[in-house]
Amino acid sequence: MSEQFYQENGSNEYHYTSDQLNGFHDQDKKKAKGRKPMTTGKKWATVIAMALVFGLLAGGTMFGVNTAGNYLLGRAGSSSTHLAQTQTTSSSGTGSTASGGTVSEVASNAMPSLVTISTMSVQQMRDFFGGTQQYEVEGAGTGVIVGENDTELLIATNYHVVEGANSLSVGFVDEHSVEAEIKGTDVNNDLAVVSVKLEDIPDDTMNQIKIATIGDSDELQLGDQVVAIGNALGYGQSVTSGYVSALDRDLTLSYEDGTTIESTGLIQTDAAINSGNSGGALLNMQGELIGINEAKSASTATGASVDNVGFAIPIDKAQSSLREMMNQETREKVDEDQASYMGIQGSDVSTEVSELYGVPTGVVVAEVVEGSPADEAGIQKGDIITELDGRTVSSMSQLQQTLQYYAAGETVDISVERSGDGGYQEQTLSITLGSAADAQNQ
């Protein structure tokens, strides 16, 4: 049996202006210098069943979700938003001392920055007679408040927490819940940003929540104590504590749609990370966010059970992706009469194929419909689509889901890898999307 892992799914008022939210401090250059590539480290597993871990279905069965939410990431908005800078707070205030606080102090200070995430999705299941039926299922995960712009509160989580969600809501520390939107997704790094409109958050709730203090995961050492907070089992926020067991771990993860990614450079901890913890906070003893909880172990290669082997995405690895998503414009799913199409037939380039043959991951174009928007844009058979409007494309299903947020007639950039004498070369093409209704009538 192969080794298996599972994905896991206040009182002071904090308000930040766009100028105050000026990024993950100016240590980016220092940290980039000498940092190991994200692909280094020993691999612990071949495929991790991400779909089975962050929520509950009747009787304790775990499940994931498949489709994108009602809103998806867009291009840069009107104002720049960044992750909050690292802050040092005194023991007389809401934070811990520079030398570190107790687990209870860390949890108390961080809890206003944590949210529960509830999702609804539709899944197809095969029935007794060989047909398929659709079922609405509920999922649970966690998020961390990492920023705010003029109109939105911004929350970091895992991509697999919101994957496939038709709708989602966020619950704050005072247990008040509001509808939320998927602002951005980073499939390759299992990250997402969820947004909540500030106008939807009551003043009393705003006075109790705060933006997380960002720490420095590059400074972690083996044996450092850490605290994990998340919506375990969907019951609400719970706290566990442990130590940094290992650094720079690599995992191969599989999403519900079959897409696989390499999640690299992870923090390993023995702090319990369970179903529902996905997207939650891994904190140092100063109460600073140093990781986004992502996965836990299930068994060894021999089938023996494993305890207290969990993994988190280091915040220093996540920072650039989160910052980019936070600055994107939130897009709303278009009405059916505005649905768009490109005019291609394609298939996925799996991670295995990419590694074996050196082919870029994405969607390989099997056929281009003559006279279609793709044809007019210059897309060719054999091209591999890797981005649409700045969004990473890793599978055909993801490309189709992304198009649901673009209306016919919109012109966007599309990145393709095209094979030539020197190997694959990236090209950026401009495509004006056509009407899906017109395509169906042809």
| Active-site residue list | 160, 190, 278
Q: CA-to-CA distance for 331 and 388, rounded, in angstroms? A: 14
8 Å CB contact between 141 and 231? yes
How is residue 81 annotated by DSSP? Answer: -
Q: Residue for token digits 């779909």?
A: 51
Per the structure block, which two tokens stand in for 11?
């009182």
Per the structure block, which two tokens stand in for 364?
């390989």
Residue among 357, 374, 356, 352 nearest 365 (CA)? 374
How crowded is the C-beta side of 271, counted as CA atoms within 13 Å?
Answer: 33
Name the residue type at position 215. Answer: G
Strands (DSSP E) found in 284-343: 289-299, 310-314, 331-332, 340-341
Phi-psi region of 223 (alpha: psi -120 to 50; beta: other; left: phi over 0): left
Q: CA-to-CA distance for 363 and 382, rounded, in angstroms? A: 9
Buried b (16+ CB within 10 A) or exposed e, 110-148: bbbbbbbbbbbbebeeeeeeeeeeeeebebbbbbbbbbb
Point out which residues pair with 392 in neighbouring strands. 387
Distances in Å between the Cα of 165 and the Cα atoms of 26, 296, 405 are: 35, 22, 14
Q: CA-to-CA distance for 214 and 84, rounded, in angstroms? A: 7
Q: CA-to-CA distance for 406 and 295, rounded, in angstroms? A: 32
Termini Cα distance of the chain: 50
Residue 27's contacts (CB-CB under 8 Å, 6 or more residues apart) are 216
Distances in Å between the Cα of 78 and the Cα atoms of 183, 320, 372, 402 are: 14, 19, 33, 22
